[in-house]
Amino acid sequence: MATATAPLTPTADTTPAVASVDVPLEPSGAAWVNRFPTSKSIDDCEEPFKTGLQSFVNALEAAGAEVTIAATYRPPERAYLMHWAYMIAKKDQDPQKVPSMDGVQIQWAHQDAEGKYSKTASVQAAKDMVNAYGMQALNVAPSLKSRHTDGKAVDMNISWSDTLKINDAEGKEVEIKTTPRTGMNTELHAVGKSYGVVKFYLGAVDKPHWSEDGK
């Protein structure tokens, strides 16, 4: 066998080669809910909302109220998943027409065993996501861009027993004897506003939601 040799010419070009790789889409469903998790930490909020929220929560707890934070900062990817799952499950959005989002390789339109589009499977997968996100009682679709994605909102459950004696941001004690003894109490809303934490302007549509401006 003959062996041929040839000189190798070195090059100074160190530019990395870029290859385009098609990433397969993953069908929608409850498994997506654990992706792009929402923060529950006040520290992940933006100023000045962060300081106001921490002070309001401190005042509530000092007054004996129970506060449970469900969400603060929400990644845009999670907002996208929540919004379109809700729209498909509750607003009859066509799964085949949902816009894509960079970095979220989800397939909203499912296929049946024969490879044909299945509306039934697509809608059921979206309903599974709505349930897993805990959005069953939500009366409005989560926004694609909101105060949560800006780091200027919180979803929290607040409750107390009997009369709540709480200090507002100026240090004045406010006695709240009215009901409900929850975050839906309008007198408590005034106290929250003094800290720059404003109750959602549509009221019972989204009961746990507070933000820098009520939106």
Average pLDDT over residues 112-116: 94
Task: For residue 158, list its beta bridge partners.
Answer: 67
- Lowest mean pLDDT of 20-34, 77-91, 100-114, 122-136, name the range: 20-34
In tens, the pLDDT along 172-215 reads: 999 999 999 999 999 999 999 999 999 999 988 889 999 999 99
Q: Which amino acid is at 51?
A: T
The model's pTM: 0.73
What is the Cα–Cα distance from 63 to 192, expressed in whole angstroms? 13
For 119, other C-beta atoms within 10 Å of its C-beta total 14
Q: Is 124 exposed, middle or buried (0-12, 13-18, 19+ CB in 10 A)?
A: middle
For 37-86, write each residue's pLDDT tens digit.
999 999 999 999 999 999 999 999 999 999 999 999 999 999 999 999 99
